Each structure stands twice: as structure tokens, then as C-alpha cells.
């Protein structure tokens, strides 16, 4: 983990669920899913977060309003990279509409919405709920999602 990464779960040794979430984030950081080239990508965009030095390039293959494949390239802190890894896992096979709903739910969770944090549609992404307590790191967690919004969102 990056030395300037805070322990986003706090001193939660007494809380097994928080420990588990920390493990999920580190697992995606160390073994990112969907990192690399995407066959026949139709949408690509690179964004960076200068506050932290994070860079994410999102690659999507979209056909008939559906995300057939998703991947990413980039580097940065564990939060930014784990978020991109988990996001691409959740996007594959979803319609654009479903992807944007996922984006909206994830964004609400990062702004501290407990209902959003309990939504099972987020899967592993719920491990990032603790980031809501660190406003500077919210930008790290949302970087890949900002790429998604710019590529397939209503203003794209
Ligand atoms: Zn970061």
C-alpha cells in the first residue's frame, strides 16, 4: 500500500467486518481485475486526480446499449485502483442504464448514504464505504466512475 494511504477503516481491529473490507480493497489493489487491453474497445478515456497522482484509463466495449467488456489501465493509490478493478467487474454484461444506476448508488455511498451502502447491487464495492469519512479520498474512489460518466453518461 502507498505510504500516504490512511487506514481508511480506522483502528477497527474489534470490527471483523471492517477488517474484511480492508482485505477486499487490498486484494483488488494487488491483483487488479480487468487491467489491460480490452478487445475491440469502443470507448476509452483517461482521467487523472492531481491531488493524489492517480491515473485511470477506462476502456469499454459497448454494443446495442450494453457493456460487453470493461477494463482499465493506470496507476495510483490503492483506493483509486481497487475502485477501478471492482467497477469493471460490476460493469460487464450490464446495460448503460444499469451502469449509470450503479454509478449513482456508488456515488451516494461515498457521500455517506447508508441505504446506498447497504445496496447489494454494489457487491465488493461496498468495501469502499469507509472512504466517505475521508473527503480527499472520495476523489480517488470516484476517478474511474468519472471516466464512466464522461464516456456513457447523459452528457456524453
Ligand atoms: Zn488516490
**d(CA 56, ligand 1 centre) in Å:** 10
Question: Which tens digits make up the pLDDT trace of 107-143?
Answer: 999 999 999 999 999 999 999 999 999 988 999 999 9
Ligand 1 centroid – CA 144 distance (Å)? 11
Can you tell me which residue has the cell 452528457?
155
**95 CA to centre of ligand 1 in angstroms:** 28
Q: Which residue has the higher pLDDT, 5 or 131?
A: 131
From the list 76, 30, 39, the residue with the least C-alpha distance to 57 is 76
* Residue 135 Cα to ligand 1 middle (Å): 11
Q: Please give the DSSP secondary-structure letter assigned to residue 95.
A: B
* Tens digits of residue pLDDT in 17-51: 677 778 999 999 999 999 998 989 999 999 999 99
What percentage of the chain exceeds 70 in pLDDT? 90
pLDDT (0 to 100) of residue 17: 66
Distance from C-alpha of 126 to C-alpha of 2, rounded to nearest angstrom: 21
* Residue 40 Ramachandran class (φ > 0 left, ψ -120 to 50 alpha, else beta): left
Centroid of ligand 1 to alpha carbon of 93 (angstroms): 27
Quick one: cell of 62? 459497448
Mean of pLDDT over the chain: 91
What domains can be seen in the chain, in order of their start residue?
16-152 (3.90.1010.10)
Amino acid at each position: 500500500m502507498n505510504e500516504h494511504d490512511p487506514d481508511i477503516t480506522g483502528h477497527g481491529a474489534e470490527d471483523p467486518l471492517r477488517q474484511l473490507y480492508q482485505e477486499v480493497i487490498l486484494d483488488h489493489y494487488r491483483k487488479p481485475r480487468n487491467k489491460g487491453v480490452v478487445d475491440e474497445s469502443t470507448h476509452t478515456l483517461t482521467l487523472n486526480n492531481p491531488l493524489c497522482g492517480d491515473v485511470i484509463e477506462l476502456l469499454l466495449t459497448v454494443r446495442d446499449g450494453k457493456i460487453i467488456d470493461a477494463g482499465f489501465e493506470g496507476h495510483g493509490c490503492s483506493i483509486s485502483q481497487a475502485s477501478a478493478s471492482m467497477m469493471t467487474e460490476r460493469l460487464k454484461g450490464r446495460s448503460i442504464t444499469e451502469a449509470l444506476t450503479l454509478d449513482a448508488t456508488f456515488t451516494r455511498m461515498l457521500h455517506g448514504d447508508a441505504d446506498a451502502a447497504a445496496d447489494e447491487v454494489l457487491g465488493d464495492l461496498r468495501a469502499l464505504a469507509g472512504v466517505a469519512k475521508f473527503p480527499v479520498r472520495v476523489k480517488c474512489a470516484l476517478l474511474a466512475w468519472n471516466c464512466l460518466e464522461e464516456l456513457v453518461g447523459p452528457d456524453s
